[in-house]
Structures are given as C-alpha cells and as structure tokens.
Amino acid sequence: MSQTLASTQKSSLSNSSPIDLVYLWVNPKDEDWFVRREAALKLFPNVRNKHGAEPCRYQDNGELIFSLRSAGLYLPFIRKLFIVLDGAPPEWLDTSREDFEIVSAQSLLPKQGVRPTFSSESIEAFVHKIPGLSEYYLYSNDDFFVCKPATPSDFFEPDGTGLVRMEKGLIHAPLMVRDNTYNHIWRNSFKSLKSHLSDNFKPNVSGKVWVPLWIRKLFRDQLPLNPPAHILQPMRKSVWRNFHEAFGDEMKQQLKHPFRNPESFAVNMMFYYLSHSLGKAKFIYTEDFAVAYRESSLTSIQHAFETIRKQQKVRFFCLNDGFDLNGVNWGHMVKEVLETCFPNPGRWEKQSFKRSREG
C-alpha cells in the first residue's frame, strides 16, 4: 500500500456534522430508460437474463416509498436526501422539498468507459461526486429499511470511524452454479484486496471454527472474507479518493461494460475493506439486522420474514429480490410486511398523493 494510502487525516464527527442519505434507484417503468437498456443489451447480448441484467434486478415492488418512510421516521438526523436516479422519478415523490435532490446517475460517471451504464457497481463508485454531499453519509438501496429509532452513533464513532455491520459467515462463491456472475465478482474483489491491501484480515468464522481457511476455500468454495451486511451502511466521502488511487485499474475494467458481468468488482465491499485498512471503519458483528434473500431456500425466506415481522432485535432489514427458485409470491410477501411496518405517509411524499391514497 502506498504512502499516500497509508496516511490518514485526523477528523471527528461533532454533533453538528451533517449526515446525508443517498439512494441509488432505477425506474423500470420509464420508457426512455427501457429503450436505452434494450439498445445496450443488443450490444452485449451475453448478459441478458444473467445475474447482471435479469428482469428481477429492475423489478419494482414499491419498496422505495416504504424505505423512505422508514428513513423519515427513524433517521431524524438526516440533513438531506439524495436519490441517484436513472429514469423518471416516481409520481408520489415530492421533488420540491429543500431537504431533497435528484441526481442523474449518468452525470456522475467519468467520460472514460461505456455510457450509459446500467451497472450499480459502476455508479456506486462515483456517488461521492454528488455536488454538496456531506463528508459523512449513509448509503441505501430501495430494499433497505430501518424499523427502530437510530442516531448517528449507530453508524459512526465520535472520531468519525464508520461502524460497518458485517455478516458472520464467510463469502460463499461456488462457480459451478446456474449463473456464477456474482461469484466471479466476489473472487475478483478478493484478489484485488489481497493485491492492494497489506492487512491480514481475520474473518469472523461461524460453524466449525476448527476448519482451516484454506480448506474452506478449496473444498467449500468459501473466501476468507465476511461480506458487509446488505443493509444501510455508513460511508466517508474523502475515502473515495483513496479508493480510486488503490483500485484505479479495477475501475477502468469496471467501466468497460454497461452491465454487471464476470469481470466486475464488488465496489462497496472493497470500499469498506479499504476504509477498515485505513482506520476509517470498524467491522461490527451485531444481531440487529435481518436480510431476506429471494434466492434462498423457502425455509430461510419464511424465517427471515417472520424475524422481520416480530422486530424483537431487528433494527435494520433488507428484502432482496432475485431469481425465483421456490415459486413464492415475493411481491405479495414484500407488500404485506412493508404495509404493516410503515403504514403512514412520509415527509418525502406529495401531499396530493397522500390525500388520494387516504381517500
């Protein structure tokens, strides 16, 4: 790791330090967006119906309105909401509010690389370019939710160190599966982290802890890394400069393709591990979050939804869409739990839309 990367500046998060909230969202109902995406798919037909461009990646189950309700209700300290958007905003969104701004996803990307891009990883690497974005911010997807009151101390220590919630299990990245795109991405990212960072990471190992990591990697297709929890997470704008210095070649490769593909990288995971290496982030292994993956077994899905409904320990959760492997009515399950958790209109919804819904 270079001298520049190794050096960090002292900073602190005061009570008055602003914290913004950033969402990345696509409107799949926007016809112009759909036409642009189809044109790109004709140039890169190999990704159609793969993990990088399958329809479920852009399926809208109405999650965004409930995610914003949860943020407005339980994150009162947020200074400003930014939605990095590709396509038209949803009809219910109040774009006139001073604490809200829409940012074009394509406007953040560098001139180098394929444009437009439909890869969330590529866009995530340049979210820090949002004009006026605070140094400390929270990053969210539309399927991330907060279900209990939170404060800045849930995400940052007083000195500004980010508290990144991690999964307890190791990354499972087998290649002999129906679509191994994302498993290639995990492996690409692990290789880059090993190459660029000097840290000898000691992952949290669940299950039979006596099984050596090299055996887990060889026979269980496990990488010696814990993945960041797929929930709302803290970020530091200034660390992205370090990120692009460390992973410049990887980002050049990333920007060559408009869709997620086997040569892509898990940008946010690499950012968190770099932040950890620089002393700007701390990994925490808590039990205050739950993630329901559509691609999990039916038993796992049912257990996750039941955990979310009870909300005994859960403060943050995610309802992650994906390939339908079990024939479950995912859209119905998502709508049912979200309408139960967040029934009341939020501050970023149009008053006219609220009244029409109430009527």
pLDDT over 60 (residue 242): yes
pLDDT over 80 (residue 180): no
pLDDT over 70 (residue 320): yes
pLDDT over 50 (residue 359): no
From the CB of residue 177, how many other CB atoms can be counted at a distance below 10 Å? Answer: 12
Tens digit of each residue's pLDDT (9 = 90 or more) over 81-91 = 999 998 899 99
pLDDT over 70 (residue 48): no
Helices 267-277 and 181-196 pack at an angle, to 10 degrees, of: 20
Tens digit of each residue's pLDDT (9 = 90 or more) over 13-31 = 766 799 999 999 999 889 9
Whether residue 331 contacts residue 63, with contact meaning beta carbons closer than 8 Å, is answered with no
- Average pLDDT score over the chain: 86
| pLDDT computed for residue 8 by the predictor | 44
CATH number for the segment(s) 16-358: 3.90.550.10
| pLDDT computed for residue 190 by the predictor | 93
Put simply, whether the predicted model's pTM sits higher than 0.75 gets the answer yes
pLDDT over 70 (residue 52): no
pLDDT over 80 (residue 177): no
Cα separation, 23 vs 140, in Å, equals 5
Greater model confidence, 350 or 353? 350
Mean pLDDT of 45-64: 71
Instruction: For the chain, give the percent of residues with pLDDT over 70.
Output: 84
- Which residues partner with 283 through β-bridges? 164
| pLDDT computed for residue 45 by the predictor | 76
Greater model confidence, 325 or 211? 325
Greater model confidence, 310 or 145? 145
Question: What confidence tier does 5 reach under pLDDT thresholds 50, 70, 90?
Answer: very low
Cα separation, 81 vs 99, in Å, equals 6
Mean pLDDT of 43-51: 70
Whether residue 114 contacts residue 257, with contact meaning beta carbons closer than 8 Å, is answered with yes
Greater model confidence, 295 or 24? 24
Tens digit of each residue's pLDDT (9 = 90 or more) over 188-230 = 999 999 999 976 677 777 655 545 555 555 445 888 899 999 9
| pLDDT computed for residue 310 by the predictor | 82
| pLDDT computed for residue 6 by the predictor | 42
pLDDT over 50 (residue 78): yes
pLDDT over 60 (residue 160): yes
| pLDDT computed for residue 300 by the predictor | 83
Q: How far apart are the two ends of the chain, measured CA to CA in Å?
A: 60
Tokens (6 digits) for 251:
């980002």
Mean pLDDT of 304-325: 85
* Residue from 327, 172, 247, 335 nearest 2 by CA: 247
Beta strand 171-172 with 222-223 is antiparallel
How would you class 359 by CB atoms within 10 Å of its CB: exposed for 0-12, middle for 13-18, buried for 19 or more?
exposed
Q: What is the 3-state secondary structure (H, E, C) of 106-141?
A: HHHCCCCCCCCCCCHHHHHCCHHHCCCCCCEEEEEE
Mean pLDDT of 42-57: 67
Tens digit of each residue's pLDDT (9 = 90 or more) over 183-194 = 899 999 999 999
Greater model confidence, 259 or 20? 20
